[in-house]
A = this chain, B = another copy of it.
């Protein structure tokens, strides 16, 4: 009783969602090299995952493969893009134009498909008014107005830790529900708001942990207790 070739399941597992962009990237590469169809085995290889997992992931979107053949690259690109919401474009605001914010603004790669940096905002009068990556840096006092005027729906927080929660509260107050946080703080947000965090320091610490393990475990402390 299931209609075939239709996205049916509204509830896609979070782990699957996190991998879809990976598949999409691999597929884009294949499309560029003129590959028309791909098997789950090959695509999984390119994305660095297990083929069974890939098939199960894709099965959550619908039945888009052909048994005995594989998946049509272009079609799959479209389906995944649509599922991820990349067929529309998203206006992103970057708040905090320090080292990192500036790098993000200039880093063309990450706004490749579907995303557009629509505003830069900072508190430092020294940088407000500057043009970075073709955009005028606006003052933090105008935060709400800028968000609304530019139709921003995703905010990237690249402020100092101390300012992040405040900015976060303000953008949520004007309806933003998606935040990418680079500040090293745990943001507290109401239900319905998604926060993803990127913390370089944490990543390094995790690496250090494993590195230490490989080097022979935590040093046995000489002190008895």
CA distance A175 to B14 in the complex (A): 35
Interchain CA distance A104-B86 in the complex, whole Å = 29
Copies of this subunit: 2
Are A18 and B202 in contact, CB atoms less than 8 angstroms apart? yes
Is A25 an interface residue, CB under 8 A from the partner?
yes
Contact yes or no, B205 A83, CB < 8 A: no
A71-101 near B? 1/0 per residue, CB < 8 Å: 0000000000011111110101000000110
A225 — which chain B residues lie within 8 A by C-beta? 5
Residues in B with CB closer than 8 Å to A217 are: 10
1/0 per residue, CB under 8 A from B, across A149-175: the answer is 000011000000100000000000000
State how many angstroms separate the Cβ of A158 from the closest Cβ of chain B.
9
Chain B positions within 8 Å of A66 at CB level: none
Min CB distance A103 to B, Å, is 4
The answer to whether B188 and A210 touch across the interface, beta carbons within 8 angstroms, is no
A22-B186, A85-B212, A184-B25 known; A110 vs B207 contact (CB < 8 Å): no
Does chain B have a CB within 8 A of A128? no
Q: A211-B194, A218-B83 are in contact. Are A104 and B200 (CB under 8 A)?
A: yes
Mask, A133-158, CB within 8 Å of B = 1, is 00000000000000000000110000
Which residue of chain B is the closest to A185 with respect to CB atoms? B25
A129 interface contact, C-beta 8 A: no
